[in-house]
Structure 1
Amino acid sequence: MADDSFGVLLERLALSKRIDLVAAVQQAGMRSELEAVLRGGSPGSDLLRVLAPVLGWHAADVFALADVSLPDGLRSAGRSRGSGVPTLVRSFIALGPEQQAEVLQFVASMPAEGPTAPVRTPPHMVYPSGPGGILMRLIWNRGLAWSAIAQTLAVSTGRYWSAATYGGVPRFPEF
């Protein structure tokens, strides 16, 4: 990507979703901040929170795209960082389409719970800007650490890379 600034990424995303960002944030009184971001400025937390529903994304994912640290209220809670996800994915894949639809409907109907004790991002999981960094920040927002990523993708795709490989991909532009 020639220019991976948040403003460029935001414009591309809005174009693909056919969203008029300026009109969407005008009501929140953040037009000037948005225009500054589109010219290469850094976004503030308030703007990112306003953009999330406009884009149809979770606020934490907009923070990941912008490479802005998550506020405590958006950090996921938990100790395991996704260790049970590979088993859940394996079980889900084994279900038929009707049962999968039932599970998805049940999950969507569950109430959202806020974090009780936010998990801080360890230094080795702070990634540089770029596509790989964005992807890994989005995955971290899903509660998956490197080991859970490797196991989940092995279960769902049949392809296994070591956990450290997933951690290293964003650090090497030639990948």
Structure 2
Amino acid sequence: MTHPAPGHFGAAVRRLAGRRQLGVDALAGLAGVPPPELTAILGGGAPNGGLVRRLATALRLHPADLFAVADLPVPEDVAPADPSAGWRLALLVQRAMRLSRRQRESLRAAVAALPAAARIGPPLEASSRHRYPPGPGGLLMRLMQNRNAGPVTTAKLLLVTTGQCLAASTYLKIGHGVLTPAPQRSTNFAMVIDIDSDDLAALTGLTVERPPPSAPTDIAGLIWDARRLDAAQLERAGALADRLRA
């Protein structure tokens, strides 16, 4: 079982800032916060929501993802629209995997052009079994929740995109720190999370290898864009994928 060190948020931000070649003063300037305040956070202090948003912009991350790193509830304005639509997301991705890269670009453009749906229902993290403790596995699963994927949808997404065949219960164990993902499994997560593999390694502290050139890494962007949609919109997007393939 993995146990994060105290101040895991500060450690993750330090590693990612190092990847960006940003010192404390430079990062504080980009985030618009006093350097002593940032130094306290990097040293293990607890961040507030406003600081998380500013740091996300400075570090070029989705705000929802940095909230996941901080182990804070994801605010409604940056959370997935329809937490019950994960199965529709998996079907959309399965259909998209049958398309050429150019066809997937057309599909993603159509998905991005759809209006954001009104928020429906409680977030996935409202369920006790989907509240993961701090740690690398918990962070991976919280990042998947930001993409509207609980354990079942995560299992389906990774199966159709990478061929990784694991039960939903295994992903629950990863999320709760019972299992630590091996480097290849961490790399498979990187293929459906639109975060650079080296950045994901910095955030999680895991070894994340770069996906092979032939990997369908463009799918991660489609998954992110689709989080704005409800089940009905995802169904229409799936029908469009079928038409593009015909």
Normalising to structure 2: TM-score of the pair? Answer: 0.63
What residue in structure 2 maps to residue 134 of structure 1? 139
CA drift of 1:136 comes to 0.5
Q: Could you list the per-position Cα deviations for residues 132-168 of structure 1 after superposition, in whole angstroms to 9, with x for gaps in the alignment?
A: 0110000011111111111111111222211111111
**1:3-14 counterparts in 2 under 5 A?**
3=5, 5-14=8-17
CA drift of 1:68 comes to 1.4
What residue in structure 2 maps to residue 40 of structure 1? 44
Q: Would you say 1:71 and 2:75 are equivalent positions?
A: yes
Structure 1 pair 174–163 and aligned structure 2 pair: CA distance change class (3 A) = closer
CA drift of 1:112 comes to 4.8
CA drift of 1:94 comes to 1.0
CA drift of 1:174 comes to 5.0
* Counterpart-to-counterpart distance in 1, 2:118 and 2:20: 28
CA drift of 1:79 comes to 4.4
What residue in structure 1 maps to residue 93 of structure 2? 89
* Counterpart-to-counterpart distance in 2, 1:19 and 1:113: 36
Tell me, yes or no, if the aligned pair for 2:83 and 2:120 is still in contact at 8 Å. Answer: no
CA drift of 1:111 comes to 5.2
CA-based RMSD: 2.5
SS of residue paired to 1:83: helix
Structure 1 pair 130–49 and aligned structure 2 pair: CA distance change class (3 A) = same
What residue in structure 2 maps to residue 31 of structure 1? 35
* Bigger relative contact order, structure 1 or 2 (CA pairs below 8 A, ≥6 apart): 2
The 10-residue stretch of structure 1 (49-58 or 95-104) with the greater mean CA deviation from structure 2: 95-104
The residue type equivalent to 2:96 in the other structure is: F
Name stretches of at least 5 consecutive residues in structure 1 with no aligned partner: none
Q: Could you list the per-position Cα deviations for residues 59-109 of structure 1 after superposition, in whole angstroms to 9, with x for gaps in the alignment?
A: 110010111122333332314241112211121111112212222344445
Normalising to structure 1: TM-score of the pair? Answer: 0.85
Structure 1 pair 11–36 and aligned structure 2 pair: CA distance change class (3 A) = same
* Counterpart-to-counterpart distance in 2, 1:65 and 1:30: 21
Aligned residues: 175
SS of residue paired to 1:36: helix
What residue in structure 1 maps to residue 64 of structure 2? 60
